[in-house]
Amino acid sequence: MKKQNNYSVPGFLASSVSAGLKKRGELDLSLIFSQKKAVAAGVFTTNKVKAAPVLLSQKRTKKGSIRAVVANTGYANACTGIRGMNHAIQTAEMVAKGLEIDPEETVVASTGVIGAYLPFNLIKEAIPDLVKSLSPNGFKSVAEALMTTDSFPKVSYFKGNAGGNPYRLLGIAKGAGMIMPNMATMLSFLLTDINIDSQTLWPIFRSAAECTFNRITVDGETSTNDMVLIMANGVAGNRSLNRSAIKEFERGLTDVMGELAYMIAKDGEGATTVVVIEVKGAATKDDANIAARAIGNSNLVKTAIFGQDPNWGRIMAALGRSEIKMEENKVQIWIEGIKIVDGGLMTSEKEEREAAEEMKKGQITIIIHLNQGRWKDRITTCDLTYDYIRINADYRT
């Protein structure tokens, strides 16, 4: 993946302002605008309690074309009933009016405290400025404006080539807590100038979301506001994509979304270590997924990782209660390539000491082989630390 400082995609503009939603005058309201009609697709939270902006944006995205996304932080606009829905609709309307586009092509995203009403006057007052300050170079500050408990902005970029026409793909994401996306994630926006039709875009996008955002967990909590949107405006001018160009785009999209998802796990509230949990040899596809999640969501495994303790007994206990098919005496476990469990038993104290040493690196891979079948899956997570408690005990106060 190529890196650069100047993130831009032809035909897309962005802006962000401080509307006064965050406490210390930080950026908290942002806008992404496509100057041309753009093909769009989205995946949204599967939580039965859906925020107003999720309900609205899901409906509008289904029509397949989106030109503007307005996003606020500080308030989730979830559990806010009719009043909350009116706030979302009016926000979109005002933005659409400023941009002279159809409100039906404008979607809204929110993240923050659940249950509080949006301070709508602040948003209303800020929208004219927001529209006025749109620029081709506004994306990095959008990533900043989206941050809540995030400790760094999350951006990823890819350049491809479709039949001689170069194109760009820019991804932005936010997320640090209440993270175990299911069919969706925290907020993420993908922008590309590739010329692609909805029918081609949707399956690629959906499967990229499935193996990236849907494979991370910080705390096993699925948010009411998760939303991933992609907009493709066709400005690159390429003709209809052939198979190899589609493959390249798919790889680029999966890389960008994968990098963003990794950043979210790395920035998990209070995290000191990113942990990739790989389960192999499961009897079924579901078993592999369930086992990886049982380990990735175990508070005892995650505190042990924080303590840099290769406490594999807790991994065994998590597997045992996960209701998958397993035989204790067939389990093998590796930490950073060091085999610490074989046949369900400790290999040796020497291996444990070596694994403990590896756990200081800030990023580890734990492989579990169940030896039950041919299925595998992986999940990316982080450790559970004092700071997760601090951040979440004090979140509203």
Residues annotated as catalytic (active site), given as ranges: 185
Residue 336: count of CB within 10 angstroms of its CB:
17
Instruction: Please identify, using beta-carbon distances, which residue of 157 and 388 lies nearer to its own copies.
Output: 388
346 binds its own copies (CB under 8 A): yes
Give the x-and-dash track for 167-206 against its own copies (CB under 8 A): ----------xx---x------------------------
Contacting residue, 121, 244, 329, 348, with its own copies by CB under 8 A: 329
Using CB under 8 A, which of 39, 319, 338, 368 touches its own copies? 319
Q: Is 8 in the site for its own copies (CB under 8 A)?
A: no
Of the residues 316, 330, 336, 365, which one makes contact with its own copies according to CB under 8 A: 316
| Residue 59 binds its own copies, judged by CB under 8 A | no
Q: Does 116 bind its own copies (CB under 8 A)?
A: yes
Nearest residue to 230 (alpha-carbon basis) of 76, 61, 104, 92 = 61
DSSP secondary structure string for all residues of 349-372:
HHHHHHHHHHGGGSEEEEEEE--S
**From 28, 144, 150, 219, residue interacting with its own copies (rule: CB under 8 A):** 219
Q: Is 211 in the site for its own copies (CB under 8 A)?
A: no
**Shortest gap between Cβ of 350 and its own copies (angstroms)?**
15
Alpha-carbon torsion angle 378, 384, 387, 391, nearest 10 = 70
Residue 16 or 385 having the CB closest to its own copies = 385
Q: How many CB atoms lie within 10 A of CB 110?
A: 29
Give the integer Cα–Cα distance in Å for 61 and 228. Answer: 11
Binding residue count for its own copies, defined by CB under 8 A: 62
List C-alpha distances in Å: 109 to 69, 89, 390: 7, 11, 26
Comparison of 90 and 392: residue with beta carbon closer to its own copies: 392
Residue placing its CB nearer to its own copies in the complex, 380 or 385: 385
Contact 221, 45 (CB under 8 A): no
Cross-strand partners of 332: 369
Does 357 help bind its own copies (rule: CB under 8 A)?
no
Token readout for 326 is 């397993």
Q: How, if at all, do strands 29-34 and 12-17 pair?
A: antiparallel
Residues numbered 18 to 47 that lie near its own copies (CB under 8 A) are 46-47
Amino acid in the structure at residue 375: W
Interaction of residue 386 with its own copies, rule CB under 8 A: yes
- From the list 299, 348, 353, 374, which residue makes contact with its own copies (rule: CB under 8 A)? 299
Nearer to its own copies among residue 81 and residue 164 (C-beta): 81
- CB-based burial of residue 293 (10 Å sphere; 0-12 exposed, 13-18 middle, 19+ buried)? buried
- CA separation for the pair 277, 217 (Å, rounded): 11
**193 vs 352, beta carbon nearer its own copies:** 352
Among the candidate windows 18-26, 57-65, 244-252, 309-317, which touches its own copies by CB under 8 A? 309-317
Per-residue binder mask for its own copies (CB under 8 A), 68-87, x = binder: --------x-xxxx------
**Residues forming the site for its own copies (CB under 8 A):** 46-50, 76, 78-81, 113-116, 177-178, 182, 219-224, 298-300, 303-304, 306-307, 309, 311-314, 316-321, 323, 326, 328-329, 341, 343-346, 384-386, 388-390, 392-397
